[in-house]
Amino acid sequence: MRVISDAGNLSGKKVLLRVDFNVAIDKAGEIMDDFRIRAALPTIKYLLKNQAKIILMSHFGRPNGKKDGSMSLVSVAQKLSEYLNTKIKKADDCIGVQVEGLVASLNNGEIIFLENLRFCEGEEANDQEFSKKLAALGEIYVNDAFGVSHRAHASIVGIPKFLPSFAGFLLEKEVKILSQVLENPSRPLSVVIGGAKISTKIKLIEEYLKKADNVILGGALANTVLHAKGLAIGKSMFEKEAIAGVEKLEITDNKLHIPVDTIVSEDRTGKGENRIAPVGKISENELILDIGPETEKIFSAVIEESKMVVWNGPMGLFEVNEFAHGTEAMAKSIAQSNAFSIVGGGETTCFIENLGLIDKFSHVSTGGGAMMEFLAGDELPGIDALSNGK
């Protein structure tokens, strides 16, 4: 995989740089977590230093191929401008006459930020004509968007067919560190998997029950495992369609760690009466909303003995303070351990940043789904495209 530092003289070259600035924004349009923006700065600064003409591309949200002002990249461009202390030209579209004019007016060391790629249907459809129009804007393509490199979209796999293509420094770093987990992990290796959907993570769980020393399951996905094994989970969230795959998991496997107690309530808002309930002792009107104190102790003991930890997904309904304790306990346990720690996923990353613990982790991945697919051994289309492109 060629990296942008292998591209030679960049002065005056029009560089199409694909980043993943799909950041969390509140109802007022304020950016809540700009970690992904900060993570891409080394590549952008390198291009600026080398006097390239930078054409930034990103997606934001799921506008389904239609323009939606609430998903514009205006505020993201403003935030990036603050970090770089330089003016950024903002386009109203990602292709077309106006964009071509702005690109033509770029001077060396200047930046134009295209509008949300997903405003165009051709992006997610990986339309070849759309890819050609994007490619025509530049002379060199750089992928620094690890977080969407598992998507076969036009700006990820289409453009490399038409331009010399390179990885950015962020993508290079992600691949290097995550490859270590695949090829030469420090042991004991523990993989912590939380969140809501087990269907998207079942392959990873199966893979690491073979490769890892410990697999810890929390969050709503653990409910599906408990339900599949005939344990009462009340009216808790679980995935019916995933039951068949989950039934293959052996909960008596010494490597697999699932909750032994939980925090339950009849009310998801946190305003109702909450109680600690042993697994299997949950009434039909109750919801499992967090792991319990005994589970926290067991999980923390596993982490303490680990030399490498990979974490993706919360342990409970952490958006509600009353049900965030398990996720916070996991974050602190990993942060305070001596293990080489890797965390990924937008929700989890945002949570540890709010706790002030983000610098305590060895590597914070900008990908959630991409990280999980990479660690499951899947080939990511975006990385393949860099190797097999022009």
What residues pair up with 189 in beta bridges, in sequence order?
308
Are 33 and 169 in the same domain?
yes
Between β-strands 256-257 and 261-265, what pairing exists: parallel, antiparallel or unpaired? unpaired
Q: Which pLDDT score, from 0 to 100, does residue 242 have?
A: 80
Q: Is the pLDDT of residue 346 over 90?
A: no
Residue 287 included in any domain? yes
Residue 220 included in any domain? yes
Are 33 and 152 in the same domain?
yes
Residue 369 included in any domain? no
Q: How far apart are CA 119 and CA 121, in angstroms?
A: 7
Q: What is the pLDDT of residues 150-185, one digit of tens each?
A: 999 999 999 999 999 999 999 999 999 999 999 999
Q: Which pLDDT score, from 0 to 100, does residue 185 have?
A: 94
Q: Which pLDDT score, from 0 to 100, does residue 252 have?
A: 63
Catalytic residue among 316, 344, 368, 369: 369
Catalytic residue among 36, 79, 90, 133: 36
Catalytic residue among 344, 345, 346, 382: 346
- Categorise residue 203: left if φ over 0, alpha if ψ from -120 to 50, beta otherwise: alpha
Are 160 and 278 in the same domain?
no
Which position has the higher pLDDT, 302 or 210? 302
Are 210 and 326 in the same domain?
yes
| pTM assigned to the model | 0.91
Q: How far apart are CA 377 and CA 228, in angstroms?
A: 26
Are 211 and 322 in the same domain?
yes
Q: Is the pLDDT of residue 207 over 70?
A: yes
Tell me if 217 sits within 8 A of 194, measured CB to CB: yes
**388's tokens:** 């097999």
Are 155 and 16 in the same domain?
yes
Q: Which pLDDT score, from 0 to 100, does residue 390 have?
A: 65
Residue 182 included in any domain? no
Q: Is the pLDDT of residue 28 over 80?
A: no
Q: What is the overall mean pLDDT for the chain?
A: 93
Percent of the chain clearing pLDDT 70 (strictly above) = 99
- Categorise residue 375: left if φ over 0, alpha if ψ from -120 to 50, beta otherwise: alpha
Residue 58 included in any domain? yes
Are 169 and 209 in the same domain?
no
Residue 350 included in any domain? no
Are 235 and 279 in the same domain?
yes
Q: Is the pLDDT of residue 42 over 70?
A: yes
Tell me if 288 sits within 8 A of 234, measured CB to CB: yes
Domain that holds residue 278: 187-338
Nearest Cα neighbor of 373 from 172, 178, 154 is: 178
Residue 285 included in any domain? yes
Residue 241 included in any domain? yes
Q: What is the CATH number for 18? A: 3.40.50.1260
Are 62 and 202 in the same domain?
no
- The H-assigned helical ranges of 11-111 are 35-39, 41-49, 74-84, 97-104
Are 89 and 64 in the same domain?
yes
What is the number of structural domains in the chain?
2
Q: How far apart are CA 24 and CA 150, in angstroms?
A: 20
With the C-alpha atoms ordered 122, 124, 128, 133, is the resulting torsion angle positive or negative?
positive
369 given a catalytic annotation: yes
Are 159 and 216 in the same domain?
no
45 given a catalytic annotation: no
Tokens 């977590």: give the residue: 33
> Which amino acid is it at 39?
A
197 given a catalytic annotation: yes
245 given a catalytic annotation: no
Place 251 in a pLDDT band, splitting at 50, 70 and 90: low
Are 153 and 197 in the same domain?
no
| Section 74-93 average pLDDT | 95
